[in-house]
Chain A
Amino acid sequence: MKKVLLISLIALSISFVQAQKVNFKVKGSDTVLPLTQKEAEVYMKKNAGSSIMVTGGGSGVGISALLSGTTDIAQSSRSLKLDEKMKLNDAGKAFKETIIAYDALAVIVNPANKVSKLTREQLEGIYTGKITNWKQVGGDDMKIVVYSRETSSGTYEFFKEHVLNKKNYASSALLMPATGAIVQSVSQTKGAIGYVGLAYIEKSVKTIDVSYDKGKTYVTPNVENAKSKKYPITRPLYYYYLATTEKLISPYIKFVLSAEGQKIVLQEGYVPLN
């Protein structure tokens, strides 16, 4: 008798899980993930009965899921690559693109480091392994320890494209599995340099002013400078979705773009649209 009861209980709970309808799914970039989670949470609270499933995996994963129809929104920390556009075109799928926020990457060093500003060329030299000592860029005689994200990260690709001029990272670079780990390591390693999203900056590390005009002007990484586009290492964060599902999704997108949604953007440490 007990067994029968147990089985029926299990069956009941399964049917409950199924009854909770998932309205639509968001998948992709791990950079956008915390933001989407928060937005979806607030949205679901406001609209009882709606349900949004949010998962990460990386920008590329989200876009290929959009292509195969296993997600409704692909969240991405980069714009679509041309070959991805070509694939969508080949499949006869018209898509829409919405920028929901901006993210800025800050270069960080240990607080004990004298260096407080670097040009893009110097950063490229450090990350490709051509500059190996801090005294080459005006600091103490100390070996540079380069921290980077893992190759799977969209941030890794973005930094490579916009700071390293598409050159390969030095093979001596230390690849960390998470942004938090970079902050931790930089804070405890004197000669360290790393890059993290603005949201991750803490007192235990020092940010570097960056120049993209060969040293004429240096810009501090902060939300104001990122908003005004003065800070160069800034990237838009995107939602991609198919035109056919626009009706289903648009209330949510409207919410994200609304003043309330953009307030969440700021709270989560990203840069709002305006």
Chain B
Amino acid sequence: MKKFKKLVEYFVEAVLFSSSTITSLTVILIVIFLFREGIGMFNSSPLEQNFVIVVSQKNPVQELNATQIKAIFNQDIVNWSAVGGAKDSIILFTTNDITNYYSEEELGSSLENLPAKLNDFILENPGAIMYISSKSLPPNFAGHKLAVKKIGVADFVFGEQWYPTSEPIPSYGIWPMIIGTLMVTLGALLFAIPLGIATAIFMAEVASMRIRNLLKPIIELLAGIPSVVFGFFGLIIIVPLVQKTFGLVVGETVLAGSIVLGIMALPTIITITEDALRTTPQALKEASLALGATRWQTLVRVVVPYAKSGISTAIILGIGRAIGETMAVLMVTGNSSNIPHSFLVPARTIPATIAAELGEAPYGGLHFKALFALGIVLFIFTIIVNSSVEFIKNRSRRA
């Protein structure tokens, strides 16, 4: 019997050990995975794999930058003379346009005539710019490739345009999203910190036991509401409210996102602050009261300073809750990729972008990698937030 008990103990220990190993391994694997997928987008060509931009051999243009190519395919530039070529109008051509020029019979049932027809096309249309797969080009093709600049880290972080599916050149600039994410989070905290700390103080020090027992479950319930429900609430109640109050043309704004996120961060802030306030030793409080301090003075001079580090942790965890929130923000901030210059305009956040676009981004493609790179940026934000929690904890321990 004793032997059996020992065996059980051994078994439990093994389970505990493997659980913790699995947890830490999972975290490490997720980080490795995130970086492996995300790093891949840098220093690669913005064009799809195996795709090239070609022009006729007679065309003197050798190189175009991404902005020029974008302008050409957006039909803002319509003549070669604008980019240093001859005076000839530009004819846009992507692979799917071939059926406008040649019938399916001419191309052959398994497209075996495609390379020859592409060659015919460029011979007949010297003003063409073609965006096609290099595999479909014939070996003696009557055109030359244009050089395209690779994507750098600075283009990604400080770029101001996000057109991930635009052909032939997508834009992956996330600066508006970084600003959007930070502004929505900041707004949420401006709203949630005073309200959260006030509620926590009320619950810990002022409220009677009965009121506290009533409030506590309500606030905990707030933490349990799914974020989609918050999103709906925001879209139907907060958005029109913001729009009417400020007389805006559009209600989906940073402010609406901030309010919804603020409500979502409240339970975290309240619960942790309240716990911190409650750790103040009764002896300290009694000493303060005994010295003749009022209840208010005791609260401000003794209880809150004692719980300072706990309150800071609450705020920072609140930031963590707000910065990574996805669904609710996706529904109320409007997601337009302009840089927000105030709290009353639409904005796009990093988590919302990942959630909205990952579903359709082709696996392993550039868009897919760009979304993982966005994940890295978000991960870095979170690391900063978490290490500041550690920093504050350590500092208060030393003090």
Contacts and interface: CB of A to CB of B under 8 A. Distances in A.
A99 interface: no
Interface in A170-191: 171-177, 181, 184-185, 188-191
B346 A190 contact: no
B135 to A, nearest CB: 8
Range for the number of chain A residues in contact with chain B: 35 or more
Interface string A32-73: 000000000000000000000000011011001000000000
Interface of A: 57-58, 60-61, 64, 81-83, 85-86, 89, 142-143, 145, 150-153, 156-157, 165-169, 171-177, 181, 184-185, 188-192
A54 B346 CA distance: 35
A152 to B, nearest CB: 3
Contacts, number: 109
Interface stretch (B22-30, B201-209, B328-336): B328-336
B35 interface: no
A171 B360 contact: no
Interface string B53-92: 0000000000000000010011100000000000000000
A173 B336 contact: yes
A176 B251 CA distance: 13
14 contacts: A64-B362, A165-B75, A167-B75, A168-B166, A171-B162, A171-B336, A171-B338, A172-B336, A172-B338, A174-B346, A175-B348, A188-B251, A189-B250, A192-B250
Range for the number of chain B residues in contact with chain A: 35 or more
Contacts of B355: 177
A57 B360 contact: yes
A24 B9 CA distance: 48
B236 A184 contact: yes
A38 B73 CA distance: 40
Contact of A57 (B95, B162, B243, B359): B359
A192 B249 CA distance: 8
Nearest to A142: B249
Contacts of B74: 167-168
A143 B346 contact: no
Contacts of A81: 95-96
Nearest to B240: A188
Contacts of A58: 359-360
Given A150-B335, A152-B360, 16 more contacts: A81-B95, A83-B95, A86-B114, A89-B110, A89-B111, A150-B357, A151-B356, A156-B165, A168-B163, A171-B161, A172-B338, A174-B250, A184-B235, A185-B251, A185-B252, A188-B239
Contact of B133 (A86, A172, A184): A86
Contacts of A172: 336, 338, 346
A143 B243 CA distance: 14
A95 B69 CA distance: 35
Contacts of A173: 336
Given A82-B96, A174-B335, A157 B249 contact: no
A29 B8 CA distance: 53
Contact of A175 (B96, B133, B336): B336
Which of the listed residues A142, A174, A184 has the most CB atoms from chain B within 10 Å of its own CB? A174
A4 B73 CA distance: 67
A165 B251 CA distance: 29
